[in-house]
Amino acid sequence: MNLDYVREEFEQRAFDYDGLIPRLIPHYREQHDLILQLIPFETNANIKVLDLGAGTGILSALILQAFPQAKVLAFDMAENMLKICQTNLSAFGKRLTLQQGNFAEADFGSGYDLVVSGLAIHHLDSAGKQQLFHQLFQSMNPEGILLIRDIVTGATPKLTEQYEKLWRQYMKASGEDDAAWFQNYLKEDIPSSVEEQTKWLAEAGFANAACHWRYLNFAIFGGVVRK
């Protein structure tokens, strides 16, 4: 899938993203409580954070709110998503920086204590994910934490089929056109299993590479940097 196509889709969806996304992703808001609980730093820690595929800034906002000394780089390829991010998070002033770029090829900096990424890395194919995990490991400080929440496949094709069927039921029950969204997913998304991705994280150097939560074809997983 051409990333230009994905970027164009997000440029258009930016304006209703915040209202729409909980109707498409089961337990979307509940995931945020767990993501925060999985961050091991003291509340007053002076941490440098990267939000990869930040979109309208939901994960950046959570972190800036919970860690008043944190500084966050919200990185995204869609200009309109970043514009809304800037508006939504204006109260955080200079603690938030925005950068537009494609994380498959751009330099997103280094020295990060925490990297979060929500619903973005599945746009890369298997090789792209593995390359990104290596780059992320290099970009992070010792004891840094990586937390990814993403759409994933099941461990087997049969499980994937079962999860996707139940996911479609969720979207339909939320009032969405599940057939249209599912077609869109087949066209745009390249999910990998959480089993493969935790293996790739370990191969990239991350310790404690593991899945922390999963519900059907959605998971929160990551690792720790021990250098």
Stretch in the footprint of ligand SAM (CB under 6 A) among 99-107, 134-142, 195-203, 213-221: 99-107
Decide if 39 contacts 62 (C-beta within 8 A).
no
Q: Which amino acid is it at 47?
A: I
- 160-199 binders of ligand SAM (CB under 6 A): none
No. of helices (H) and no. of strands (E), the chain: 9, 7
Decide if 96 contacts 74 (C-beta within 8 A).
yes
**CA of 208: how far to CAs of 33, 108, 223, 226, in Å?**
21, 24, 5, 9
- Is residue 222 within the footprint of ligand SAM (CB under 6 A)? no
Based on CB atoms, which residue is closest to ligand SAM, 105 or 203?
105
**CA of 167: how far to CAs of 10, 110, 179, in Å?**
21, 36, 11
**CA of 46: how far to CAs of 15, 64, 70, 168, in Å?**
32, 11, 5, 41
Among 99, 102, 131, 160, which residue sits at the site for ligand SAM (rule: CB under 6 A)? 102
x/- contact string, 58-97, with ligand SAM (CB under 6 A)? xx----------------xxx--x----------------
Based on CB atoms, which residue is closest to ligand SAM, 119 or 140?
119
- 5-34 binders of ligand SAM (CB under 6 A): 6-7, 10, 21
Helix (H, G, I), strand (E, B) or coil at 118: strand
Based on CB atoms, which residue is closest to ligand SAM, 27 or 162?
27
- 105-124 binders of ligand SAM (CB under 6 A): 118-120, 123
Which residues of this protein are in contact with ligand SAM, per CB under 6 A?
3, 6-7, 10, 21, 53-55, 58-59, 76-78, 81, 102-104, 118-120, 123
